[in-house]
Chains A and B, each alone.
Chain A
């Protein structure tokens, strides 16, 4: 689907379960993550690899950004995971627990080798790096810029808080710094920032509060663990009619100012500065990507 694909929600589907993998395509998530890692028992790693490979190759869901989450960089499964994952040609491979740029470079090189052997266009497989430890957060900037394949960093809050010896709470004060650090690294590198999951799938109000914070901080999307979370998160990342109207008025005022060679432009009595213009353009780009007619 490419770099312009919407990435508001990414839903994990376990590579151990055909029914889980097949049903996931019928929900409204933007990104479907075929998981070979945490959701797959050790004894089923080989079978999950075959399942994910064949499902993507022969039953790829239309209109979704397809991701394979491989096993850890230092696991015994990573080599074969990459061999299979690259050859079924997902949009991206999601690497868990990334902590250093050199790890991304090593994966990048291996993917390049497989792409060449398989006759796949060089660089066509993108990378998402999961940031799931204090080391990952500290090195987020170098990770985000380690390879041109990297298009997104995704914060993993459970493992991060474990590495920090913090207590995970719904309010999320313990991940506030990590969220901002990952976000700044993403903005520096020009890649997408994907927020951590909200784990309580029965707490819809809690999810709404959490995703409102996620959006206000500046994230581009959020990982979800259950289909019932998808519509709430998609709605939060889709500009409202009021936001779209305001963004259009901001840009119209900016254009009018240019035509009339004005140094400063105002709207409703307030001055429009460059950041406001940038936010308006982002709002309209998000609306357009979400398929809203304007």
Chain B
């Protein structure tokens, strides 16, 4: 999946996270996180982001999180949605079937 444009998913409400993705001309994943709980959970949040990007097959992107207390699976869901929007592609739900 190739990120073609800047796109967002999520909200600034409590328990949610606003994720913005954009193409990364330098290559690779560049993740930035703004969160009130960054000091406690940065590693865990970064893992949720990179796992979601790997599952979506995205290798090159800038991913910015404005977090308002989202748990891992919400971060994962918002990253997935933002990546699909940025790539202008539907998610391949059968991906895990093929890996099983």
Contacts and interface: CB of A to CB of B under 8 A. Distances in A.
Chains A and B bind each other: yes
Interface of A: 17-19, 22, 46-47, 50-51, 53-55, 57-59, 80, 83-84, 87, 117-119
A6 B39 CA distance: 43
B77 A80 contact: no
A259 to B, nearest CB: 56
Given A18-B15, A46-B85, A47-B9, A119 B77 contact: no
A59 B15 CA distance: 14
Contact of B77 (A50, A87, A117, A118): A50
A119 B13 contact: no
Which among A19, A47, A83 has the greatest number of chain B C-beta atoms within 10 A? A47
Interface stretch (B26-34, B57-65, B66-74): B66-74
Interface in B7-62: 9-10, 13-16
A47 B81 contact: yes
A46 B100 CA distance: 24
Given A19-B15, A83-B93, A117-B97, A47 B10 contact: yes
B50 to A, nearest CB: 15
Nearest to B76: A54
B96 A47 contact: no
Contacts of A59: 71, 73
Contact-size category for B: 20 to 34
A193 B26 CA distance: 58
B80 interface: yes
B71 A47 contact: no
A54 B100 contact: no
A47 B78 contact: yes
A90 to B, nearest CB: 14
A57 B73 contact: yes
A87 B96 CA distance: 9
Contacts of B15: 18-19, 22
Contact of A46 (B14, B72, B84, B94): B84
Given A18-B15, A19-B13, A57-B73, A80 B97 contact: no
Given A59-B71, A80-B90, A119-B97, A50 B80 contact: yes
Contacts of A51: 74, 77-78, 81
A18 B72 CA distance: 12
Contacts of A22: 15, 71, 74
B97 A50 contact: no
7 contacts: A18-B13, A47-B10, A47-B77, A50-B81, A57-B73, A59-B73, A118-B94
A19 B16 contact: yes
Contacts of A47: 9-10, 77-78, 81
A59 B48 CA distance: 14
A58 B93 contact: no
A87 B95 CA distance: 11
A156 B91 CA distance: 32
A63 to B, nearest CB: 19
Nearest first, the 9 closest Cβ-Cβ pairs linking A and B are A83-B93, A58-B73, A47-B81, A50-B77, A54-B77, A19-B15, A54-B73, A51-B77, A50-B81
